[in-house]
Amino acid sequence: QVQLVQSGAEVKKPGASVKVSCKASGYTFTSDGINWVRQAPGQGLEWMGWISAYTGNTNYAQKLQGRVTMTTDTSTSTAYMELRSLRSDDTAVYYCARGGSLGWFDTWGQGTLVTVSS
C-alpha cells in the first residue's frame, strides 16, 4: 500500500535549522510530487510548498521563501524539507503529502512535531 513515513520529533533552538524526511513506498516515487503542510498547535493547515519527485522543480509558499528548501533523493524514494532560521511560531506538526499537478493530497505521512524553544 502507498505509505509515507516521516522522521521523528525534533526540538530546536531559535535560529537553528531542521530537516524532516519523508520516505515513500508502495508506488513509483517519481510519478508524483510531494507537498509539505504544517499545523501549529490547535490551528488549521498551512501549505508550505511542493516538489516534483521527477524533475526536482519546486513551488514554495511566498511567506517561507528564503527559509525553506525541499529536495528529493530518488535512490531512496525520500523527500526532505529543511527550514532555517527557526522561530517560535514555526512550532508545529509538519506533514508530507503525496500530490500531483491536480493538487489534492491523497496520502499523508504521520507527521513530525518540531518544537522551537530556547
Partner 1 sequence: DIQMTQSPSSLSASVGDRVTVTCRASQTISSYLNWYQQKPGKAPKLLIYAASSLQSGVPSRFSGSGSGTDFTLTISSLQPEDFATYYCQQSYATPRTFGQGTKVEVK
Q: Which stretch binds partner 1 (CB under 8 A): 7-15, 71-79, 80-88, 106-114?
A: 106-114
Closest by CA to 56, choosing from 27, 76, 93, 30, is 30
What is the C-alpha R_g of the chain?
Answer: 13
108 binds partner 1 (CB under 8 A): yes
**Which single residue is written with the C-alpha cell 493547515?**
45
The residue within the footprint of partner 1, chosen from 16, 31, 45, 56 (CB under 8 A), is 45
Three cell numbers written together for 32: 508524483
How far is 8 from 31, CA to CA, in rounded Å?
26
- From the list 87, 94, 83, 118, the residue with the least C-alpha distance to 22 is 94
> Pick from 24, 32, 38, 50: which binds partner 1 (CB under 8 A)?
50
Instruction: Single out the segment in contact with partner 1 by CB under 8 A; choices: 13-21, 58-66, 74-82, 84-92.
Output: 58-66
Q: Applying CB under 8 A, which residues contact partner 1? A: 35, 37, 44-47, 50, 59, 61-62, 95, 97, 102-106, 108-111
